[in-house]
A = this chain, B = another copy of it.
Amino acid sequence: MAQIETELQLLKSEAINMWTLVNSQLNKAREAFLTFDKDLAREVVLKEKRVNGSELKIDRDCENIFALFCPVAIDLRFLLAILKINSNLERIGDIAEGIAKYVIDAEAPFSKELLEVSRVLPMYEEAVAMLEDTQAAFEKEDTVLARGVFKRDDLLDAVNKSSNKVLEAHLKAHPEDTSQALWLISIIRRLERVGDQTKNVAEEIIFYLEAKVLKHSKKFA
């Protein structure tokens, strides 16, 4: 086996590790958010450093592979994809940390009703599921699975779109929830970003496997 293959294999498993880590961060942040578990939230914040370290490592490895092996064709696309996936995953990690930090700062759990009307929980679940799907698509090099992710993002967009109106309406009735609503809107925005990032990742997977650039194509279409 050519050495570049070994290196790319290693890189792939590193990326998968990071992915698993980010996924667990996102899940733990959700758990902390749901159960108002400040300890778990603190753990997420601590582990964010691991995510950052992982990002730096992958970036550096990519740089080395570029410098040493001069990749072309599918190898090149793989590396470029990894570079992008890497920064997207890191951003998702940041978002998980952001949510965890809110849990740490918050004085009380969110009101059940607020959570209910904002539909933030199904949104969160969907975001996590999307991330898991893209990870599976990446591991199995399965572009069908990767394409499946795009549709799932619709739910996130819908929740995000409606959130302002819904929260405004809720605040009319419960002005005491103002602070919570302001936080919640940030979280919803963030989760929407997770959806976007995951979509980007799926696009990168398709780019590397099929050499098709899907990015922005919907917007052009």
| A interface residues with partner B (beta carbon < 8 Å) | 49, 52-53, 55-56, 59-60, 62-63, 66-67, 70-73, 76-77, 80, 83-84, 87, 164, 167-168, 171-172, 175, 178-179, 181-183, 185-186, 189, 213, 215-216, 219-220
Contact = CB atoms under 8 A, between A and B. Distances in A.
17 contacts: A52-B219, A52-B220, A55-B215, A56-B216, A60-B213, A66-B71, A67-B73, A70-B70, A83-B84, A87-B87, A164-B183, A168-B178, A168-B179, A171-B175, A172-B178, A175-B175, A182-B185
Contacts of A183: 164
A119 B172 CA distance: 25
A103 to B, nearest CB: 14
B56 A215 contact: yes
